[in-house]
Amino acid sequence: MLVIVAPGQGAQSPGFLSPWLEDPTFASRFDWLSTVAGLDLAHYGTEADAETIRDTRIAQPLLVATGLVAALELFPHPGDAFRHVGAVAGHSVGELTAAAGARAISAEQAMVLVRERGAAMAAAAEATPTGMTAVLGGDRDDVLSALERHGLTAANDNGPGQVVAAGTAEQLAALAADPPAKARLVPLSVAGAFHTVHMEPAVSHLAGLARSVSTHDPRTPVISNRDGQVVHDGREVLARIVGQIASPVRWDLCMETMLDLGVTGILEMPPAGTLTGIAKRAMKGVETFALKTPDQLEAAREFCAKHGEASMIETTPTWRMVVAPAKGTFHLDAQAAESDVLAAGATIGDVASLRDRTPVLAPHGGQVVEWLVHDGDLVSPGQPLVRLHPEGSSS
């Protein structure tokens, strides 16, 4: 099974885009998305220095545009992607890349949202001196206890030995003076405490814009940063991306879900290397491919063919599926079990895991054609639970 992942801010480096722009088709498509963003992204990806592209207003649109256009280079016919990709995920701003790649939102909508996201997060960061520090190694409980002691947030939980602390400059200084045992602290070159309460003003701004964005149920399961759950409702995909601006990124749970899905190969979109590096350390036995330059495209396609298989979700104008958000035991709602037609938003049951119990809804409703699981069955993330016809249609 193949999972495509998109990196977040910090993956960019000076000049990384230069080899990609040598392709006229890539350059033309990239110019279009740059126009939508209102930024000369080609300049920033080829000529700007590291300090310039560290700016949140620039880095975020640059990353999303690169990932989206590179995806079209990898899969010139989008239908090929849906026959190969089992799931997608993005780290932080990479979730916008993943959402557009899965067709939950359009590329143009993603570029408008990332433009506004970057600007709003930069403005929020300027309100208070804040930052982020990577905490490498150490006992997990000791690390989290130290962060709590100093009022910091574990803004990125990237798996064993990789937690990113975020908060005010004073809080980070206190952590540096009193670090957790056996841990190494690496201050990050970022503009602020992303994925913390300090970003709440940006959430409010994006939430207002998101109300005008038309969404579609993704063609490929999307794994959410919030809790690693598989999301297959376009409105929820977008709502989670907006809320994630001020909430921790749980990449550890995303990787856990990938393993539950049976991933055998992870391909990271450019500028690649960060997420595949994490996967090599945390997901033993899973092959990785970091797509960095266009001369790797043929090898990347071979990698996709080796690991690819269509997702369990088949989306057509006629059928709808409701799928499991996580691994666990499915408990069927008694009323849903007796219903021939489910109303939009109806509860069909819940999935109980070791961590929590997650309600499962039928966002669009419809006529019940076939229950694909029974009460008490063990289910995996993204597994279809019930097949529905849009209400009023016939089989």
Residues 260-284, buried b or exposed e (16+ Cβ, 10 A)? bbebbbbbbbbbbbbbbebbeebbe
Beta bridge partners of 218: none
Catalytic residue among 84, 195, 232, 364: 195
Cα separation, 108 vs 89, in Å, equals 19
Bridge-based pairing of strands 328-332 and 346-352 is: antiparallel
**If we measure between CA atoms, which residue out of 337, 362, 357, 334 comes closest to residue 347?**
362
239 and 196 Cβ atoms separated by less than 8 Å: no
Q: Measure CA 212 to chain center.
A: 21
Contacts of 160 (CB under 8 A, 6+ apart): 140, 252, 281, 282
Q: 């405490």: which residue's tokens?
A: 193
Cα separation, 362 vs 348, in Å, equals 7
Cα separation, 242 vs 209, in Å, equals 10
Catalytic residue among 92, 224, 247, 311: 92
Residue 92 is among the residues annotated as catalytic for this protein: yes
Q: What is the 3-state secondary structure (H, E, C) of 165-201?
A: EEEEHHHHHHHHHCCCCCEEEEECCCCCCCCCHHHHH
Residue 353 is among the residues annotated as catalytic for this protein: no
Q: How is residue 342 written in tokens?
A: 């489910």
The residues carrying an active-site annotation are 92, 195
